[in-house]
Amino acid sequence: MDRERLLDMDERIGPVRRLSLGLIAVALLICAPWVGLWTLLPLALAAIGFQIAERVKTRVRRPEYALFAAWTMSELAIAGAVAMMDGAATPEMAWLAIPVVTLSARFSIHGVVLGVAVAVALISGVAFGVDATAVIGDPTLVIAPITLVITIAILSTALMNSDRHHRSETVIDPLTGMLNRKALSTRAAELEQQSRVTGEPVGLIVGDLDHFKQVNDSRGHAVGDAVLREAAYEMRKELRAFDLAYRLGGEEFLVVVPGAGTEDAALLAERLRLAVAGQMFAGDQHVTMSFGVSASDRAEPFEYSAVFEKADDALFEAKRNGRNRVCVDEPARADRSPALA
């Protein structure tokens, strides 16, 4: 969930971040007659770093590392530009607080603390490295920007925690911790728009716990809830950072796999099936799951309702053919797992 929020917030921050870098670049151009054009070089390097992070963040298991590295490059870029000016004596030292505003929107509290430490270290390094004598003579040159950085981090984190709490109440399923239908409607619309731009396919996996009603009827709803909770946890462990898991209601789940065609989505569904079938839940309950898989075609933009309908049909086929299996929506209706009674 933290990684999903990280990627989602990074998408939202992206345009604003580019605007901020542009404004800093304009300010440096205006100041060029006094400080020179060399101050633009670190900023250009930061922009390149963000471009690289954008390309790799959905391909790596821990995208937070790539994004934090890009964030650190932005702080280094500003620190480099400030050092080329006049170090602690320049008003631009306060610019090192700008990237700090985005920390709490994307990273955990550990990331915020680490980011603040990076910013404070850069302020101190630039100040003492350029003109230590000036700083010793007037410590406010360092105290003021450090205070600004820490204060912004504290306030932005408090505001983000409050916002996150209220948003989680509306988009998180309280039983399983998965996203709910409300979150799905928003994400589906975003993926449809992205697909029109990128041409990348989107895979959908619809899963359903087999004979779940028997668990509720024989052991009670408390055990049934525990089974749902633990099965959801086992599925989440098999997912990548950018795969999205939702509880549609009851014992039915959906996994959205951006960038995956039918074959890749089917392989993931099989891993999910094995993960659930290989565990005992609520102490002594062995349950299985059936899955239906479909994906959009690269030749056509992703349309959620059409792809979901095909995946749901495939799920029905899996249940009709004996359950505890993966079926793919395709002309041959290929069964992707052993036929089990």
Spot the catalytic one: 64, 75, 92, 251.
Answer: 251
Taking Cα atoms as reference points, which of 69, 81, 7, 13 lies closest to residue 44? 81
Q: Which residues of 284-319 are buried (b: 16+ CB within 10 A; e: fewer)?
A: ebebbbbbbbbbbeeeebbebeebbebbbbbbebbb
User: Strands, DSSP E only, in the chain?
Assistant: 202-209, 244-249, 252-258, 289-295, 326-328
Please indicate whether residue 238 is annotated as part of the active site: no
Q: Which two tokens stand for residue 61?
A: 């298991």
**DSSP 8-state assignment for residue 251:** T
Contacts of 100 (CB under 8 A, 6+ apart): 115, 116, 119, 149, 152, 153, 156
Beta-bridge partners for 294? 204
What amino acid positions are annotated as catalytic residues?
Answer: 251
